[in-house]
Amino acid sequence: MTPTSQDLRVAVVGAGMMGADHVARITSTISGARVVAVVDPDTARATAAAATAPGAVTAADFEEALATTEIDAVIIATPGFLHEAVLMPALERGLAILCEKPLTTDEAASLRVLEAEQKLDRPHIQVGFMRRFDQGYQDLRALVASGDNGALLALHCAHRNATTPPSYSEEMLILDSVIHEIDAVPFIAGEPIVAVEVKKPRRNSLAPDGLRDPQFVLLETASGTLAVVEINVNIQFGYQVTTDAVFESGVASIGRETGLQLTSAGRAGVAVPPSFKERFGAAYDTQVQRWVDAAHRGTIDGPSAWDGYLASVVATAGVEAQKSGRRVEVDYAMAKPAFYDLDARADAVPSEA
């Protein structure tokens, strides 16, 4: 795709909740892009989502969409095990790609994707770790980088959901939920995770039968920063994601609830958002806008496929730690290819501020 002043023509693959959201977002909120195709084997779902995007066609699969209309870019919002099947043809055509997490569901598939991408001139895949676009995470990363309060020593992370469906399994605590902290911790700390351990406190009796919830996931980074992640997905009261960062001479916190403060009936306080949509809505908007802007420049502006690969390796170690009760060291199969050193590349373009 060549950068132009025209709108980016986007296909959205997967018309479930996330995909439908992206269709609406591109259409109503994002500048410089429009949805030209909505892809889903469930025709009713595809049609419903496409109805919100004037001029968009529907297709049962990605190949059909590619054959039907001109496409510059693709947002992949299918279940993770189907990602590779869209990533590969998208890479072949050199499309701009925004792929919801995880990149793929196993390391071998991730390595195949990385290999295919490296045949291109530069990275084309951005992975949907939207927290990187939340103002709090940006501020915290900047504070670490500034060194103003000395080195980062530890992180306390809490990730709380109101409830989970019966289908939610213990592995998903890591693969679906902590995966966000697995990406966010290196983003904040500026260095990779090297070991994982899982501790299991008393079980919440309100969790679905058989789910051992909450759990504490300990993530260690290369220099020894210890992140204690409370993953707690049946807390009932709403959605809450907070991080307290412990520095050598300070503590910084993000994610406390804000908004209208109401004093009534003997209480003073604020509302808790019901779900991730309210909590991270602005981050999703920013993520997609910056991805669109970067696509116009022929690049990405956010986590790359390499970041997606790193997260999946740590997540695999996390599941092993969860099962074994032991501390598991993370074994990355390869060093970071220069191809993914976005800032160091000769053709570097300004990335995130």
Question: Tokens 């809490």, residue?
Answer: 158
The yes or no reply on residue 111 touching a second copy (CB under 8 A) is: no
The angle formed by the CA atoms of residues 308, 288 and 91, to the nearest 5 degrees, is 50
Taking CB under 8 A as the criterion, which residues in 119-138 touch a second copy?
Answer: 135-136
Site string for a second copy, 3-42 (x = CB under 8 A): --x--------------------xxxxxxx----------
Q: How far is the CB of 292 from a second copy (least distance, A)?
A: 10
The yes or no reply on residue 154 touching a second copy (CB under 8 A) is: yes
Site string for a second copy, 39-78 (x = CB under 8 A): ---------------xx-----------------------
- Residue 235: CB atoms within 10 A of its CB come to 21
Q: How far is the CB of 34 from a second copy (least distance, A)?
A: 8
The yes or no reply on residue 2 touching a second copy (CB under 8 A) is: no
Q: How far is the CB of 298 from a second copy (least distance, A)?
A: 16
Question: Tokens 């697995």, residue?
Answer: 182
User: Which position among 236, 275, 324, 351 is part of the footprint of a second copy (CB under 8 A)?
Assistant: 236
d(C-alpha 173, C-alpha 241), whole Å: 14
User: Which position among 259, 334, 350, 351 is part of the footprint of a second copy (CB under 8 A)?
Assistant: 259
Instruction: List C-alpha distances in Å: 216 to 28, 51, 63, 137, 321.
Output: 39, 43, 42, 21, 11
Which is nearer to a second copy, 101 or 279 (by Cβ)? 279
Report the residue count for the chain: 353
The yes or no reply on residue 202 touching a second copy (CB under 8 A) is: yes
Q: How far is the CB of 213 from a second copy (least distance, A)?
A: 9
Q: How far is the CB of 328 from a second copy (least distance, A)?
A: 15
- Buried b / exposed e along 153-166 (16+ C-beta atoms within 10 A): eebbbbbbbbebee
Q: Residue 268: what are its φ and ψ, rounded to 5°?
A: -125, 125
Q: How far is the CB of 156 from a second copy (least distance, A)?
A: 6
* DSSP assignment of 12-69: EE--SHHHHHHHHHHHHT-SSEEEEEEE-SSHHHHHHHHTTSTT-EEESSHHHHHHHS
User: Which position among 282, 333, 334, 348 is part of the footprint of a second copy (CB under 8 A)?
Assistant: 282
The yes or no reply on residue 248 touching a second copy (CB under 8 A) is: yes
Structure tokens at 16: 């479930």
Which is nearer to a second copy, 289 or 312 (by Cβ)? 289
User: Which position among 71, 254, 315, 342 is part of the footprint of a second copy (CB under 8 A)?
Assistant: 254
Do 107 and 312 form a contact (C-beta atoms < 8 A)?
Answer: yes
The angle formed by the CA atoms of residues 266, 268 and 270, to the nearest 5 degrees, is 135
User: Which position among 82, 111, 194, 246 is part of the footprint of a second copy (CB under 8 A)?
Assistant: 246
Q: Which amino acid is at 204?
A: N
Coil vs helix vs strand at 198: strand
The yes or no reply on residue 210 touching a second copy (CB under 8 A) is: no
Which is nearer to a second copy, 183 or 230 (by Cβ)? 230
User: Which position among 164, 177, 289, 316 is part of the footprint of a second copy (CB under 8 A)?
Assistant: 289
Q: How far is the CB of 287 from a second copy (least distance, A)?
A: 14
User: Which position among 17, 42, 115, 223 is part of the footprint of a second copy (CB under 8 A)?
Assistant: 223
Do 214 and 230 form a contact (C-beta atoms < 8 A)?
Answer: yes
8-state DSSP, 304? B
The yes or no reply on residue 89 touching a second copy (CB under 8 A) is: no
User: Which position among 274, 277, 334, 348 is part of the footprint of a second copy (CB under 8 A)?
Assistant: 274
d(C-alpha 308, C-alpha 126), whole Å: 9
